Amino acid sequence: MAGKALKSIPAVIMLLLALAAPAAASECQGYLSGHITTCTGLINNYPADTTNWFFRAQHKVVQYWAYFLFPTGGDNPGRKSKQYLFINPYEMYSANSKYRDDNNYVFENKWMSPSGKVICDKVANWDKSTSKDVLLVDGKKYVAYIFANFTGIKEIEKDNGQEMALDEQGLYHINLYINGELAAVTFFEMKD
């Protein structure tokens, strides 16, 4: 009987670690996601509406809009205490790095068709230290960042990373990655 109990201890530990991993990941991301939507356009850098159905005869673009809050601060004690002048970029920006850059963020916005084709892929960089707008949420200070991108329904918007028209009918999805990690998935449907 004691042997069976000892064999089940590793399984229980593995289960507890698996349950703790999502909680640890949410603490590590360090930002709050706010309103994330698709719409027909922006007014004063804010969605004019919010819709998940787009009709070729009625709409010209699909607008993506995502609002995030990032904690203020961002000193890099790991980088300041580095003894060398050169830091390997892979070491600095890989997920397993012991160095953290809490001021610079890379946003990648990837639009996928119903058949799995990449319609649009846009990458943007943001330096948090350039933001002046500070918000107080639950006693903590945050700065806001809005990531927006749009694709043409019939026209191709090359400046926005669009490579193909939205010519398939059905459910599309948009993946937003922050520093290489999936942050949000948004869906919209294209109809004739």
Give the pLDDT score at 12: 42
Instruction: Encode pLDDT of 44-73 as tens digits.
Output: 999 999 999 999 999 999 999 999 999 987
Give the pLDDT score at 14: 44
> Could you tell me which of 156, 162, 161, 150 has the C-alpha nearest to residue 186?
150
Whole-number Å distance between alpha carbons of 69 and 80: 25
**Confidence band for 164, pLDDT divided at 50, 70 and 90:** very high
Fold of 32-71+104-191: Immunoglobulin-like (2.60.40)
| Of the listed ranges 83-87, 89-93, 128-132, 145-149, the one predicted with least confidence | 83-87
Give the pLDDT score at 102: 78
Q: What are the residue boundaries of the structural domains of the chain, listed by start?
A: 32-71+104-191
Does the pLDDT value for residue 191 go beyond 60?
yes
Does the pLDDT value for residue 80 go beyond 70?
no
Average pLDDT, the chain: 81
Does the pLDDT value for residue 103 go beyond 70?
yes
Determine the average pLDDT of the residues in 4-17.
46
Determine the average pLDDT of the residues in 144-153.
96
> Could you tell me which of 138, 144, 151 has the C-alpha nearest to residue 112?
151
Q: What is the pTM of this model?
A: 0.73
